[in-house]
Amino acid sequence: DTGVSQDPRHKITKRGQNVTFRCDPISEHNRLYWYRQTLGQGPEFLTYFQNEAQLEKSRLLSDRFSAERPKGSFSTLEIQRTEQGDSAMYLCASSPGGAGKNIQYFGAGTRLSVL
């Protein structure tokens, strides 16, 4: 049983560029979540999917951010026209259905640095 996988682990980009991150959840987990974590803070919820449906988006998710989960398996998070304030760790998590449906299992994250 492999865990949540995120790619890339690190991304350095110049301000104004677009970046895309990928998350592969634990197989058979139908819920997938994106969080952002800045230094010295806890993760902040961004959005979550149940299968391919995006059910909730935080107000933190500006128009420059878009997330997709087209086939209900992997997900992508795209940031357009990156800003220095977007520098953070982006965490993905997944959870199963049933009794354990709200226990979220996290990946190692993608660390974004915007220069």
Partner 1 sequence: AQKVTQAQTEISVVEKEDVTLDCVYETRDTTYYLFWYKQPPSGELVFLIRRNSFDEQNEISGRYSWNFQKSTSSFNFTITASQVVDSAVYFCALSGYSGGYQKVTFGTGTKLQVIP
Binding site for partner 1 (CB under 8 A): 3, 31, 33, 40-45, 48, 55-56, 89, 91, 93, 95, 101-109, 111
For residue 38, what is the DSSP state? -
26/80 with CB nearer partner 1: 26
CB 46 within 8 A of CB 65: yes
* Least distance CB 65 / partner 1 (angstroms): 16
82/95 with CB nearer partner 1: 95
Opening angle at CA 8, ends 7 and 13, nearest 5: 140
9/81 with CB nearer partner 1: 9
* Least distance CB 45 / partner 1 (angstroms): 5
* Least distance CB 84 / partner 1 (angstroms): 21
SS3 70: coil
SS3 103: coil
CB 55 within 8 A of CB 69: no
